Structure 1
């Protein structure tokens, strides 16, 4: 596959926004609800209106399996339905994530019972959402299968499926989480079938990080290790497509749209695990456009940058970098349907909730108890977004509704 035009434009805007929705139980036993932590549940109307004002007419939201299934087969979708109704009133399109890491308390990621339970949940969620959302309706059955499998296999960060976290322990990307990955792929495929039973027009967006890995030292063993670790990023997509472990039930049609998450930390060396510093211009880094091109050549499916963003003062510069890379990818014929900024709202750390990441398009002021009480736009970040929407940077605009490059 050498490139080609984007033959459909199902999203209301090229630039999108993602709201943090993780709902897993962390290694300390804290049951996370990131929608509540950021105040997004209480300030939903304001958040959607502010997003639309900045031209972000497509947003990513999470239903959350753990939060929605109060008992086996007993679901509460009132939060997702409120989001759907509000989005419709405000003219926004929602791309829905069903499982955002968390599972009901009587399950773990090691249980085969997870698969039929998830399928029933997915069908119920789609049935609840469908009447409230005009098409096309996009579902991500399980967010970041590869990342979740790795995180749950390498530590207890995702709850009881993982090993206990050791103080001072560093990440180890040599772990792929293959057994959990296989189970999550089976669940995603079962969920897709169940969703189609209640929403035959459903579209699917499978999302995982796109990464680049290099050896710490240029030796044959370390080069082989870097290639091995980098290859883990393809496993979930290959399983879904039936290219790998076909007994899981994957098939080519399971890959509809492919979402790719990329941050400054998505490129590193092994075995040291040291990140290739973006802010220092590490020459070993690969441009995002090249990574997108690799995915397009491998799968031949339309792509979305489903999460990207930075922290602190680097947010605007990161956006300029990513936008330029999106422009290069489009020029090269990669069918890129959009870029989703994440998170829209600053967010607390999953493991240390008192520490906020300073990463949002909006800062989240908090009261003395730590509760979110408002929003404050991060203006340099917003100006960078406006530059690319209006074509003030470079020769072309990345705007809505048509992301095709055009002269000023």
Structure 2
């Protein structure tokens, strides 16, 4: 029995790309199909279990299971449920991962009601088929980022192109999210919720210091709209509260540190730029703003730098722990590779790469340096390296993580390569 038990059965988590947005000129996309995750669900989950990863972010594709008029077909996720039972990996279910059904309009007064009806049906379905409880959900994934990509940059439906549309979309998603949490808890009182958005840092161009105020607003106000609404810090009419935020999930990628552009997206800072902030600073800022337990909900390096990235993130995470942050885990996302949304080429950012065979099948090939680095950190944190028959007999012992942080005393470092 853990003296200081965490929320999850393992400290390292993972997950699978599952976006179902309506994309620019392409139309509806299903990234899960593009990575063949449904076909390879058993293999993908066995990979995580063999690596001692007992939690996976997984998606229920709202646009694909919602048949309209309050009817739903959840057969799409049966391969995931089967694989989770067989491997004993605990899912965090994304109920809306960048995409809503064609018959829904996020700016319509009935949007929240549509989402709530679906979210409750989905939550009850997976809870009835779960191998372990309580169930965990992310109602709306990355609301603030979705507001940008679909409300201001016109990457995805509803294809907005200005700041006002972005804010309207963000708050509409928040309203639906908050209502869904309340409705799910009425049916499943023990359910937990992980709300997720990116950690960002925005600086003005060196030759345009007059944009400093706009960059500051982007970083310290707009980046937190969703969490502020969901936690009740802002927009109290939406009904948010700290308990609804529940667990704060902070995504961290290199492109989250940016130079401001008046017409976004902003430009990612290059490695070695002296304006980059240590990740520990960003974690501390977000965590202390809300006072909730938190996780790094997505993070990954690219290509040959994945092991170095994990080393940096682990050190920064432990530096944050030494500052008193209640960090519950690190999600190495994705578990298997995913395509660049814009180019279609593989990013080489997963624990396993995808190699296309002559048959068209995508073979999973673990990137060994990344795996080796994960093993090293599991050893340092006294964590399991492979799931046993009952990974839920004890939660993560957070005292082990805090002990390792105190002994290693990592220094927060802005020099990321």
Pair 1:189-2:189 in alignment: no
Query: Which residue of the other structure, out of 141, 153, 160, is the alignment partner of 1:143?
Result: 141
Indicate the SS of the match to 1:177.
helix
Following superposition, the deviation at residue 299 of structure 1 comes to 0.9
Query: Which residue of the other structure, out of 382, 402, 406, is the alignment partner of 2:397?
Result: 402
Which residue of structure 2 aligns with residue 245 of structure 1? 235
Which stretch shifts more, 375-384 or 26-35? 26-35
Indicate the SS of the match to 2:27.
coil
Indicate the SS of the match to 1:111.
coil
- In 2, distance between residues paired with 1:211 and 1:54? 29
Indicate the SS of the match to 1:60.
strand
Which residue of structure 2 aligns with residue 340 of structure 1? 331
> Residues 366 and 373 of structure 1 are in contact (CA less than 8 Å); yes or no, is this contact kept in structure 2?
yes
> Residues 204 and 211 of structure 2 are in contact (CA less than 8 Å); yes or no, is this contact kept in structure 1?
yes
* Structure 1: gaps of 5 or more residues: 1-5, 164-171
Query: Which residue of the other structure, out of 274, 288, 293, is the alignment partner of 2:279?
Result: 288
Which residue of structure 1 aligns with residue 290 of structure 2? 299
Which residue of structure 2 aligns with residue 326 of structure 1? 317
Pair 1:367-2:364 in alignment: no
Q: TM-score, normalised by structure 2?
A: 0.87
Query: Which residue of the other structure, out of 87, 92, 95, is the alignment partner of 1:90?
Result: 87
- In 1, distance between residues paired with 2:37 and 2:166? 32
Which residue of structure 2 aligns with residue 274 of structure 1? 267
- In 2, distance between residues paired with 1:255 and 1:59? 19
Following superposition, the deviation at residue 222 of structure 1 comes to 1.9
- In 1, distance between residues paired with 2:268 and 2:19? 24
Which residue of structure 2 aligns with residue 265 of structure 1? 255
Q: TM-score, normalised by structure 1?
A: 0.89
Distance change (3 Å), C-alpha of 1:116 and 1:143: same
* Structure 2: gaps of 5 or more residues: 386-395, 408-417
Which residue of structure 1 aligns with residue 374 of structure 2? 385
- In 1, distance between residues paired with 2:207 and 2:318? 33
Indicate the SS of the match to 1:196.
helix
Following superposition, the deviation at residue 290 of structure 1 comes to 1.0
Following superposition, the deviation at residue 85 of structure 1 comes to 3.3
Provide the alpha-carbon RMSD of the alignment.
Answer: 2.1
Following superposition, the deviation at residue 118 of structure 1 comes to 0.2
Indicate the SS of the match to 2:56.
strand
Matched length: 386
Which residue of structure 2 aligns with residue 158 of structure 1? 156
Following superposition, the deviation at residue 397 of structure 1 comes to 5.3
Following superposition, the deviation at residue 219 of structure 1 comes to 6.3
Indicate the SS of the match to 2:213.
helix
Indicate the SS of the match to 1:225.
helix
> Residues 123 and 191 of structure 1 are in contact (CA less than 8 Å); yes or no, is this contact kept in structure 2?
yes
Following superposition, the deviation at residue 212 of structure 1 comes to 0.8
Indicate the SS of the match to 1:406.
helix
